[in-house]
Structure 1
């Protein structure tokens, strides 16, 4: 029997099976929980704090209009409604931008932590933060480009849905209903195919220091010929995330008491939003707090687990096609040597500016 491949970190340095990829993701979360979940929690906390702060400011700016709408919901003035929509619409736009930045930072921090986990090195939170933050703009660019690429077929679906409604209005329902399933069969698989084809781009942007466009090209090149395998493992990772979400959230949802409704008709004078929530929330009690904690746990798990699975798939394809295992073995050997990477006096990590091949070329990782 040949000797087993070396395993300095969470995965063996050889072509990976499904068990190695999923097991490596769980092992990374277990051994490197501090940088992984610490930075992820920080990103989620900043996003939540900023969102709540903006929501509160928007509420204060339209409090009078909201009170009038709640007090007389059947005679809403369009001016009041427009003011409320503009205020909370602006908050939603800012929240989406901040959410994209936070999501990109979490993906970058997951890939940066995995870089050390594969080599068996200790990952310092500060070092992972610097590496992830420096690559966040590139990952954000990948996210925006991937969103545009995937949205194109979905926009086509929306346009053709509008044509469907127009056909129904013109009394040609048979043609419309025969066209819509065909469009669904074309647009949704195309969006899924594009998503899987470029699913390695965030990992390439972090581990190779690639620009967004270069990372997209690298992903397309690595996925070519392995699309179904990549799709199957990503789907399996998504199913695991869904199962964890159901196992954690469903018991709390079933145990949560039904909030007591607030009867606006019994009020002698106009009520405010604060008074409504002041009566509803106390009835939720401890269950609401526990449910919020469970939802936060599920969110942290999903934000970390899927990027790890995608990054491990990326490493697996580079091991199979580009001989990355040899580069990782040499890097792991340098790591274990006195004064190697991971110690204050050690040299630069493999694939850095001094390393042969540099970032973005086959056979190197940053």
Structure 2
């Protein structure tokens, strides 16, 4: 296995990347069995508990604000501006002169459709950002430099595949939800007996929601996998399915906690100042088009600010779930520590010819080689079974 550019004996699990500008030195984790490594002392290089993943997602934003918040602001701006324009086009014009209970009832379908549109765009943005944060957290775990330019260089060769994976992770669960609801839609379309529609709705909507959540949890780890393992789209989706299989409930619980934190921070804490401005200056109703546009602009800016902060939290949790599953299922932490000890024993070996020590980039495929799984090797030597017991492979 080649040594990645910028990764010397000090920049591997078990050592610290001293002397690299922008790098976060790794630290020994007390009680980690002699040599656990932490990202800035906060993300242990070992299987993570749920609380450690939530804390680690916050630490990622704090330690690498430029590499994380820059892409987050760009993605969030596109999502929120698109949502605001769609809302103004379909709802704003009709609501400007009439905001009444009757209008609210008549526009329920449109508002529901716009809500689904916003959720789909947000889910797509989270998946894209999770793919970008994979190399950021991966390099940080090894004490390597993490910059916005470096993150873009790592992502750029796989950007098209990441977009395709994001579309699949977003749309396949929606398709799973639509199939059980299809009989209800058909009964409504042909004006069937109301009882049939009620029965189809009672059975179809809960089943569709459950199927949607099940598929999303199984597939969401494909975003970091397609970037970190340099997989194809199909290969990344298969890897996500393999890594999530047997640990669905734990993955679901972690993502649910992350979403609850996101909803609280995004919809309440960070948006309150902007909602107060809207209430004070545009809360009288009956406004003209210019005031409606100003109100929409204030609301959009508020959503951009809040979601730019909370979106990386969800994305970071997904990336850390990927690392956790690699360590629990395939013993990735043991494998990389073994390589580090082997390099220390080969103490005077010269670095590979042509290797640079600037933190890598597109040509730094050596870094990504360490994340590609050797499935035959893992099948022959179950690393997780040696350290964590048979439950680690589930």
Fold shared, TM-score > 0.5 on shorter chain: yes
What secondary structure, in the 3-state scheme, does the structure 2 residue paired with 1:257 have? Answer: helix
Look up the SS of the partner of 1:7 in the other structure.
strand
CA drift at 1:188: 1.3
- Measured in 2, the distance between the counterparts of 1:46 and 1:173 equals 42
1:301 is matched with 309
- Correspondence for 1:31: 63
Matches within 5 A, 1:160-179: 160-166=183-189, 169-170=191-192, 172-179=193-200
User: CA offsets, 1:130-165, max 9 Å, x none?
Assistant: 112222111111122223421222322442222332
Structure 1: distance between partners of 2:71 and 2:285 = 39
Summarize the alignment of residues 198-277 of structure 1 with structure 2, pairs less than 5 Å apart: 198-245=219-266, 246-255=268-277, 256-259=279-282, 260-261=284-285, 276-277=288-289
Matching residue of 1:11? 43
CA distance in 1: counterparts of 2:47 and 2:122, whole angstroms? 35
Q: 1:177 to 1:28 in 2, by over 3 A?
A: same
Shift of 1:48: 7.4
> 5 Å matches for 1:1-366?
3=33, 5-9=35-39, 10-44=42-76, 105-166=128-189, 169-170=191-192, 172-245=193-266, 246-255=268-277, 256-259=279-282, 260-261=284-285, 276-278=288-290, 289=298, 292-329=300-337, 343-344=357-358, 348=364, 350-352=366-368, 355=369, 359=372, 361=374
Residues 350 and 22 (structure 1), Cα distance of their counterparts in 2 relative to 1, 3 Å cut? farther
**Aligned-residue offset at 1:305:** 1.4
Q: What runs of 5+ residues in structure 2 fail to find an aligned partner?
A: 1-30, 99-116, 379-394
Q: C-alpha deviations, 1:237-263, integer Å up to 9, x for none?
A: 000101111111135324532525557
Alpha-carbon shift at residue 189 of structure 1 (Å): 0.6
Distance 2:146 2:289 in 1: 44
Q: TM-score, normalized by length of structure 1?
A: 0.69
Question: Are the structure 2 counterparts of residues 281 and 183 from structure 1 closer, same or farther at C-alpha, using a change threshold of 3 Å?
Answer: closer
* Contact 2:128-2:166 at 8 Å conserved across structures: no
Report how far residue 330 of structure 1 moved: 6.1
Which runs of 5 or more residues in structure 1 are unaligned?
A: 60-66, 74-92, 264-275
Larger radius of gyration: 1
Alpha-carbon contact 1:119-1:331 (below 8 Å) kept: no
Structure 1 or 2: more helix by fraction: 1
The 1:330–1:206 alpha-carbon spacing in structure 2 relative to 1, beyond 3 Å, is farther
RMSD value over aligned CA atoms? 4.3
Answer whether contact 1:156 1:187 (CA < 8 A) is retained. yes
CA offsets per residue over residues 77-128 of structure 1, 9 Å max, x none?
Answer: xxxxxxxxxxxxxxxx9x9999999766533322221122222222022111
* TM-score normalized with structure 2 length: 0.65
Query: Retained in 2: the 8 A contact 1:209–1:360?
Result: no
